[in-house]
């Protein structure tokens, strides 16, 4: 009896996690894989269609446009995020006045709902009444179609996403900066190194693991770009902010093409995996 208890109890204790894993991870993944070979609108019975969903992806110009848009977003968002986060972390690592306040203030947008932030920025970036354009016209410059000009819309969203997420990466970089031994800087001081040389030759190499982590997290976060275009632009203008996840969402929940959207989701996950492997090869040292 005692031995049986000893065998059952650990299973019971880990059962919440196992149930969670089976219900919310394993089952959805397996079900998605099944869906990729079927046509299903949720309420009608599934219809087996073989590899049609996969072949459809190859000819779906909107999906590839959405993937391209997501890559444009990443190419702006990741460098911007890293530069801003490292710069602010470096400043917040110094002994400046109100340091705890600034650390808290920069982290604040991270914990605010993405929808709230998106609505707020939609107002700020408004063409006719937005405060940014009012500032531009007040100093004699022309207005910018932040969200209505196809050339500006994605960069605007990338800037906004950077503002929203940078606080988290500042914290990560702060942790990284605080692990750099002070002795290295003291030695560099004795050698007469400038601030820039110290940053370039000591700080950056020492925080390389943090940079790698930030790049990976930003990439995964960037690939899942959804709330901002969904709330601010709906994917427009002229599909310039249609992200891959927004497109997958539309296929699933606007048109109920569950099989196709599951195929897109799995295909897109493979793209992310591929990009992460490449990043790992080139960034991690």
Partner 1 sequence: MCIKLILLSLFLSGICVFASSCSKNQKNDGELLFWSSNNLPEIEFAQDMIETWNASNSPHINFQPVPEGQSSEEMILAAVVAKTTPDIYANMRQGDVEFYAESHVLIPLDTLDGFLEFMYARCDSSVMDEIRSADGHTYQVPWKINPIIVLYNQDYYDELGVVDYPRTYSAYLSLAEKFKKDMDGDGYVDRWFGNTESNVLWYQRFFNFIPLYYAASGGSPLIENNKAAFNNEAAVKVFTFLQTLYKNQYFPIERLAARRDPFLYGDIATKWTGPWDVPFIQKFKPDLNFNAHPMPVPDDYIGVSHTYADPKSIVIFKYSSNPQKAWDFLQQFLSIENDFKFFSLSKQFPRRKDLLTDSIFVNYLKRNPQLAPFAKQAKYTHGISDTPYMKEILALISQEYEACVVYGKKEPRQAIQDAAQAVDLLYLNLSQ
Interacting span for partner 1 (CB under 8 A) from 75-83, 93-101, 141-149, 216-224 = 141-149
Q: From the CB of 42, what's the least distance to partner 1, in Å?
A: 6
Q: Classify residue 159 as exposed, middle or buried by CB count within 10 Å of its CB (0-12, 13-18, 19+).
A: middle
In the region spanning residues 101 to 120, those forming contacts with partner 1, defined by CB under 8 A, are: 119
Interacting span for partner 1 (CB under 8 A) from 91-99, 127-135, 151-159, 261-269 = 127-135
Which distant-in-sequence residues (6+ apart) come within 8 Å of 240 by Cβ?
69, 150, 151, 153, 154
219 part of the interface to partner 1, by CB under 8 A: no
Q: From the CB of 129, what's the least distance to partner 1, in Å?
A: 5
Q: From the CB of 126, what's the least distance to partner 1, in Å?
A: 4
Q: From the CB of 57, what's the least distance to partner 1, in Å?
A: 14
Out of 10, 104, 150, 181, the only residue in the binding site for partner 1 (CB under 8 A) is: 150
130 part of the interface to partner 1, by CB under 8 A: yes
Site size toward partner 1, by CB under 8 A: 34
253 part of the interface to partner 1, by CB under 8 A: yes
Question: Of the two residues 85 and 147, which places its CB atom closer to partner 1 in the complex?
Answer: 147
238 part of the interface to partner 1, by CB under 8 A: yes
Q: From the CB of 44, what's the least distance to partner 1, in Å?
A: 5
Question: Of the two residues 239 and 279, which places its CB atom closer to partner 1 in the complex?
Answer: 239
Q: From the CB of 64, what's the least distance to partner 1, in Å?
A: 15
The site for partner 1 (CB under 8 A) is made up of: 5, 9, 12, 41-44, 119, 122-123, 125-130, 137, 143, 145, 147-148, 150, 233-239, 250, 253-256
């Amino acid at each position: 009896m005692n031995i049986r208890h000893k065998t059952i109890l650990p299973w019971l204790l880990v059962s919440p996690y196992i149930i969670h894993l089976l219900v919310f991870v394993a089952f959805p993944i397996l079900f998605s894989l099944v869906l990729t070979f079927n046509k299903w609108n949720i309420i009608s019975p599934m219809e087996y269609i073989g590899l049609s969903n996969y072949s459809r992806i190859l000819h779906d110009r909107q999906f590839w446009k959405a993937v391209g848009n997501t890559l444009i977003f990443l190419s702006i968002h990741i460098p911007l995020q890293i530069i801003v986060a490292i710069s602010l972390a470096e400043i917040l690592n110094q002994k400046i006045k109100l340091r705890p306040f600034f650390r808290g203030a920069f982290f604040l947008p991270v914990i605010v709902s993405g929808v709230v932030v998106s609505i707020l920025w939609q107002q700020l970036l408004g063409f006719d009444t937005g405060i940014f354009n009012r500032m531009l016209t007040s100093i004699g410059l022309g207005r910018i179609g932040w969200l209505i000009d196809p050339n500006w819309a994605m960069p605007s969203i990338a800037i906004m996403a950077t503002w929203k997420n940078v606080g988290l990466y500042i914290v990560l970089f702060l942790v990284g900066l605080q692990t750099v031994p002070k002795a290295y800087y003291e030695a560099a001081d004795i050698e007469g190194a400038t601030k820039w040389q110290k940053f370039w030759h000591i700080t950056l190499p020492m925080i390389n693991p943090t940079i790698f982590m930030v790049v990976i997290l930003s990439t995964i976060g960037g690939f899942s770009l959804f709330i901002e275009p969904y709330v601010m632009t709906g994917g427009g203008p002229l599909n310039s902010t249609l992200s891959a996840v927004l497109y997958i969402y539309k296929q699933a929940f606007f048109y109920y093409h569950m099989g196709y959207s599951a195929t897109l989701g799995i295909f897109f996950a493979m793209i992310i995996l591929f990009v992460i492997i490449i990043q790992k090869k080139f960034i991690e040292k």
